[in-house]
Structure formats: structure tokens, C-alpha cells
Amino acid sequence: MKQSLLNRISEHVYWLDPDASTDRPTLGAVVGRQATVIVDAGNSPAHANLLLSELAKLELTKPRYLVLTHWHWDHVFGVSAFDAPIVAHNETRRAMKAMTGLDWSDEALDRRVEEGTEIEFCRDMIKAEWPDRSNLRFKLPDLSFATQLEFDLGGVRCQVKHVGGDHASDSSIVYVPEDCIVFLSDCLYEDLHHGPRNYTTKKLFPLIDEIVSYDADYYVWGHNPEPMPNTEMKEFAQLLRSIGEHVEQTGDNRELILYALQGTSSKDLDDDSLEILDAFLAGLRNKELMET
Ligand SMILES: [Zn+2]
């Protein structure tokens, strides 16, 4: 067997590292005796083909289905490289249909950033990953679902479940019960598309409750360099909840919340906690803006 860039996390589950330099997300493969399910298409055909060639080196069962976790460009722009039927949530399909009608040239992207309908970060990463997009072709999901579906791949199952959240309302996770692995993709990240990065307690709290309820050894994130072990996930969920609760109780008063969170500790809050706090505060301001 030749060396592969794929990481193997459990008996049936493989993943390809994300690459922050052009915002390539983690891609996954769940390999059963009869079939392989791919998790996310990647952010270009080049990215998709890297996954496919690394899988081919391992001589595993052929990809039978491609599952998309949400509509964001970095998870779907690679679709044209796959022969397998594409499976996604109804809302993901709807959003991708809207994307097929858009012009993805540099000029059009620049214009949308100016209008405020695209964000600078995505524009810059799209240009960096795929400078000549004249051959960009979308393929829409062949199968779509409303709540969840399950594949039996032979000796291992793959459950795809819509979970929503702040990052994208169409977010789905992929759970592999036999191996205790959850592909979270981006569902626990902030919303990037409405002003500063933001979280809302209304969407995040039920989502973290659901995520920690899985019998999981590892959680594979869309853009984190390493999968997160269960104990670390529980600690992270607790941190999100505690900061969110402070924001809910105190309102838009950063100083007071910082003081409360710090408690008797002489150490300053770490950068991650400060980012979470600022995301909840941004979510609160968005909500107030919508209510006025
Ligand atoms: Zn995303």
C-alpha cells in the first residue's frame, strides 16, 4: 500500500487535513465493505481530486455517495469532480441552486463584496484557491432530505442529520455510530455572514446540547487542524454555555461580563474565550437591531 495523506481516525473513518491558506475544509470518508461515503466536496476540483487520488492509493471501496454538510462555497465547489450521487439537506440544495445562477468571476465577486452580499474573506479565498474559474460547474444534490437519513455501508453506518445553528441554518452532521465519530463540519462555528462573527444563545444552546449527547470518541471539525476528543468537546461546550449565559443575564456590557467571568482568577481570559464573548455580544446586537 502506498503512503497516503489521509489520516485514519478509526476502523472505517478517514479524513484529509484542512488547509487554512486557501480555506480548504476537512474532507472525510466513511468506508464500509460495500460502499464509501464522502463527507464534503472540497473548495475546488483540485481539492476534490486530491481527496479522490489519496483514497485511490488506499484501494478502498469506491465512493458511492457524496454528502454535503452545508452550502458554503468551500464545501461544495469541488462537486464536479465526483461521479457519485450527491446527498444534502433540502435547504442546502435550495441554496446551491441559487449559487448556480450567480456569476463567479473576479469582477462579480468584487461587486458583491461592495454591495455587501459577499464577504471579503470568501472572495479572497475563492480567488486564491481557484484563480481561473471559467470551468466552474455546479452539480445539484441528486437526493435531498428534511431531517435525517442513514446509510448502511456494510459493517458500518453513516447517519446524516440536519442540526442547523448560527453558522448556516442548513448545517448537517455525519455520525458514524459503530466508530463513535461525529463529523461536525462547520455547525459550531459562528455566523460569518451578518456583520461581525456572531453567536446566539437561541441557536447555539440547543445545538451544543445535541452535539454532546452523541456517543462519540472524536469530533471532526470543518476547519480545526485536529479532531477533538470527547472530553475536550464537553469542556468546550461548557465554556460556550457559561459565556453565553453571562451575556444572556447581563446584556451588552462587556466590562461587567469580563469581571464576572474572571471571578477570583488573577489570570486574564484567553483569546478563545474573548472571541466567544465578542461573538455572543455581536449576536445580541444583531438581535436588538432586528427588533428595532
Ligand atoms: Zn461554512
Rounded to the nearest angstrom, the distance between the alpha carbon of 188 and the centre of ligand 1 is 10
Across the 292 residues of the chain, what is the mean pLDDT of every consecutive 10-residue run? 84 97 98 96 98 92 93 98 97 97 97 96 98 95 97 97 98 98 98 94 97 98 98 96 95 92 77 95 89 76
C-alpha 152 to ligand 1 mean position (Å)? 27
Interval between CA 192 and ligand 1 midpoint (Å): 8
Q: How far does the centroid of ligand 1 lie from the alpha carbon of residue 258, in Å? A: 29
- For the CA atoms of 129, 131, 134, 138, the dihedral, rounded to the nearest 10 degrees, stands at 10
Supply the pLDDT for residue 264: 63
The per-residue pLDDT for 2 is 55
Q: Please state, in angstroms and as integers, the Cα–Cα distance from residue 213 to each residue in 217, 230, 231, following that order.
A: 12, 10, 12
What is the CA(279)–ligand 1 centre distance, in A? 16
CA of 173 from ligand 1 middle (Å) equals 12
Are 186 and 171 spatial neighbours (Cβ–Cβ below 8 Å)?
Answer: yes
Beta strands 63-67 and 86-89 are parallel
Q: Which tens digit of pLDDT belongs to each residue from 164-200?
A: 999 999 999 999 999 999 999 999 999 999 889 999 9
In the reported structure, the alpha carbon of residue 265 is separated from the centroid of ligand 1 by a whole-number distance in angstroms of 35
- H runs (alpha helix) in the chain: 45-57, 73-76, 90-100, 106-115, 120-129, 201-212, 230-250, 254-262, 271-291
Number of helices (H) and strands (E) in the chain: give both, helices first: 9, 13
Centre of ligand 1 to C-alpha 266, Å, is 36
Task: Name the residue among 143, 183, 179, 181 with its Cα closest to residue 163.
Answer: 183
Burial of 292 (0-12, 13-18, 19+ CB in 10 A): exposed
Distance 235 CA to ligand 1 centre (A): 23
Residue 171 Cα to ligand 1 middle (Å)? 8
Question: What is the rounded distance in angstroms from the CA atom of residue 158 to the CA atom of residue 179?
Answer: 10
